[in-house]
Amino acid sequence: MTHPPGPGPLPVLALKGVSKSFGAVRALRDVSLELLPGEAHALAGENGAGKSTLIKILAGVHRPDTGQVLLDGGPVVLHGPGDARAVGIAVIHQEPTLFPDLSVAENIFMGRGPTRALGRIDHKATRAATAALMRRLGVGLDPGRPARGLSIADQQLVEIAKALSFDARVLIMDEPTAALTGSEAARLFGVVRTLREQGAAVLFVSHRLQEILEICQKVTTLRDGTRIATEPLAGMTEDDLIRRMVGRDLAELYPKRHVRAGDVALSVRRLTREGVFTDVSFDVRRGEIVGLAGLVGAGRTEVARAVFGVDRRDAGEVEVAGRPLPNGAPSAAMAAGLALVPEDRRAQGLVMNLSVERNIGLTGLRTTARAGLVHRRAERRRSLDWAVRLQVKYARIADAVSTLSGGNQQKVVLAKWLATAPKVLVVDEPTRGIDVGTKAEVHRLLGELAADGVAVLMISSDLPEILGMADRVLVMHEGRITADLPRAAATEETVLAAATGRAAA
């Protein structure tokens, strides 16, 4: 006689019928979620699907309008992040915030470390406790090392160790690999597996679908604030996940058009910045998308900044449509028809407390100003036009750009520069941290710009993106260009060989 299976393990943390609105915007609608001990649970969805709001509710930052947060099966009210930490919930953010001049051990036990007589900090005991946490995670980080100079990957490990020191039972990892190399991500995955084996529940948020399939056992997909499905990942493919996230088959993630290249629009000759990059030369023609690939630290972003004039070059020449650009003069580069979409959109591409309208209008102040004063009606008309063209999603164009999702913030940066009608567009990591549906839109836009005769230089760490969109691939290694590959010759093998210095062309 067979017996029906008994009930599964009790969820450590759960949401039941949770809804949350911000003004007229409904961020979550009747969402339920269960996090089980020993399980990595993925949270998938496009930008604006409600992932960040859900995380903030679990972390005690927001309280739900309706519904419940359950801890070990019983309702709990989290009045703030301190309450969440006290019950064992920890959030590991994409960009950790450590005290740079304190040691690893001091960061982990800030304000609550072991003490000796008269309340003095017992540094030896603090370092020993930190070493025990690092052994538990299976990593060899020195407890006495200052936090300043640690890689993002090591900073995240310090944050995870801090969470364990609070006896965290739930770890929420929000885009933890966005700034990591492949080897650093692999080490992080090893830590996640170790935590699972020790009984922790992990909520894993990533736009990299392959990572979700590799590290997680279950996935909950959100779309427009609604839970679409919660299901096991066994047997699922990236295409299956994409269909859940966007509600349709994504026929073409890399909609590359064939465009006949025209005249040289951007010419870079023997560009050098001492200690950063050396003797960099290349051309980008009208209608051409040239990919700039390489490993982290190869010098790709630094070359883009020197081309645009943000950083001064020590030697070399830059020309746009045959017009030489002065050294270190971004305003001259803009006047010549050069546009730069930077890697860090929040710090370098946007003024976060200004409105969507004002951010798009920043590059057009000369054309929308009358007698030194900004003509607001002209600015709004220009901004609305580009917001509609790029399908930016916002409640009101007068809202602060900080209220938008990451993908829509990226569209605002693009709109700001496309409004200048550039001859050459340099885009640095154009789709980092945005969802797969928005990626396809950005790729479509880049393809349309090239078809309209714009020369595009695209820097990306996403190798499939480079191979899918570029007519030609330049590869950098340790500050030098080691390969210039036509589309037909650019494969993962040839690009990685050049990026690691094993081949030159």
Assigned domain for 177 exists: yes
For the residues 175-193, what does the mean pLDDT come to?
79
- Whether 207 has a pLDDT exceeding 60, the answer reads yes
Mean pLDDT of 395-420: 87
Closest CA to 10 of 41, 43, 33, 37: 37
Q: What is the mean pLDDT of residues 53-78?
A: 94
Under a CB-based contact definition with an 8 Å cutoff, are residues 401 and 351 in contact? yes
Which H/E stretch holds residue 32? strand 25-35
Residues 273 and 311 in one domain: yes
Segments in 362-491 forming alpha helices (H): 365-368, 376-389, 406-418, 436-451, 463-469
Q: Of the residues 246, 264, 285, which one is the last residue of a structural domain?
A: 246
Of 341, 346, 339, nearest in space to 409 by CA: 346
> Average pLDDT for residues 155-184, to the nearest whole number?
83
pLDDT range class, residue 182, cuts 50, 70, 90: confident
Q: Are 395 and 357 part of one and the same domain?
A: yes
Same-domain pairing of 32 and 58: yes
In terms of domains, do 286 and 391 share one? no
Residue 314 has what pLDDT?
96
Mean pLDDT, rounded, for 372-392? 79
- 279 or 252, higher pLDDT: 279
Do 474 and 293 contact (CB within 8 A), yes or no?
Answer: yes
Judge whether 138 lies within some domain: no
Rounded to 5 degrees, φ, ψ at 373 are: -115, 140
Complete DSSP assignment for 38-80: T-EEEEE--TTSSHHHHHHHHTTSS--SEEEEEETTEEE---S
Tell me if 504 sits within 8 A of 498, measured CB to CB: yes
Q: Distance between CA 35 and CA 334 in Å, rounded?
A: 50
Q: At 434, is the secondary structure helix, strand, or coil?
A: coil
Question: Could you tell me if 159 and 176 are in contact, meaning their C-beta atoms sit under 8 angstroms apart?
Answer: no
Residue 135 lies in a domain: no
Report the pLDDT value the prediction gives residue 270, as an integer from 0 to 100. 97
Residues 87, 175, single domain; the answer is: yes
Other beta carbons within 10 angstroms of residue 9's beta carbon come to 12
Residue 36 lies inside a defined structural domain of this protein: yes
pLDDT of residue 1: 46
Same domain, yes or no, for 323 and 288?
yes
Average pLDDT over residues 340-356: 87
225, 246, 267 — which closes off a domain?
246
CATH number for 269 = 3.40.50.300
**Reported confidence tier of residue 372, pLDDT bands at 50, 70, 90:** low
Q: Between these two residues, 296 and 169, which has the higher pLDDT value? A: 169
> Terminal CA-to-CA distance of the chain, rounded, Å?
71
Most confident of 6-10, 223-227, 392-396, 498-502: 223-227
Backbone torsion region of residue 155, taken as left when φ is above 0, otherwise alpha when ψ lies between -120 and 50, otherwise beta:
alpha
Q: Which helix (H) or strand (E) holds 486?
A: strand 480-486
Q: Are residues 208 and 324 in the same domain?
A: no
- Which helix (H) or strand (E) element contains residue 125? helix 123-137
Residues 50 and 170 in one domain: yes
Residue in 142, 139, 75, 78 with CA at minimum distance from that of residue 107: 142
Q: Does the pLDDT of residue 225 top 80, yes or no?
A: yes
Residue where a domain terminates, one of 246, 278, 297? 246
Residues 368 and 361: their CA atoms lie apart, in Å, by 8
Distance of CA 320 to the CA centre of its chain: 30
Buried b (16+ CB within 10 A) or exposed e, 333-359: bbebbbbbbbbebbeebbeeeebbbbb
What six digits make up the tokens of 325? 């650009």
Is the confidence at residue 505, as pLDDT, over 50? no
pLDDT at 496: 85
List residues bridging with 236 in a β-sheet. Answer: none
Statement: residue 420 has pLDDT above 60: yes
> Which residues, listed in sequence order, are joined to residue 437 by a DSSP beta bridge?
none
On whether residue 297 sits in a domain, the answer given is yes
Structure tokens at 107: 């960061």
Domain hosting residue 391, numbered range: 353-403+410-417
371 occurs within a structural domain: yes
Helix intervals (H) in 236-394: 238-246, 300-308, 330-336, 356-361, 365-368, 376-389
CB 172 within 8 A of CB 89: yes
SS3 149: coil
Q: How many domains does the chain have?
A: 3
Cα-based distances in Å from 204 to 35, 97, 241 = 11, 19, 15
Residues 6+ apart with CB under 8 A from 346: 352, 409
Read out DSSP for 189-222?
A: HHHHHHHHHTT-EEEEE-S-HHHHHHH-SEEEEE
Residue 106 lies in a domain: no
pLDDT confidence band for 195 (50 / 70 / 90): confident
Highest mean pLDDT among 57-66, 134-143, 165-174, 349-358: 57-66
- Is residue 393 located within the same domain as residue 430? no
User: Is the distance from CB of 217 to CB of 40 less than 8 angstroms?
Assistant: yes
Q: Say whether both 312 and 166 belong to one domain.
A: no
Q: Domain for residue 92, yes or no?
A: yes
User: Tokens for 406?
Assistant: 């990451």
Q: How far is CA 308 from the centre of its chain?
A: 23
Taking the C-alpha atoms of residue 407 and residue 414, their distance in angstroms, rounded to an integer, is 11
Model's pTM, two decimal places? Answer: 0.62
**In a shared domain, residues 217 and 364:** no
Do 92 and 179 lie in one domain? The reply is: yes
Beta strands in 257-302 (DSSP E): 264-273, 277-285, 289-294
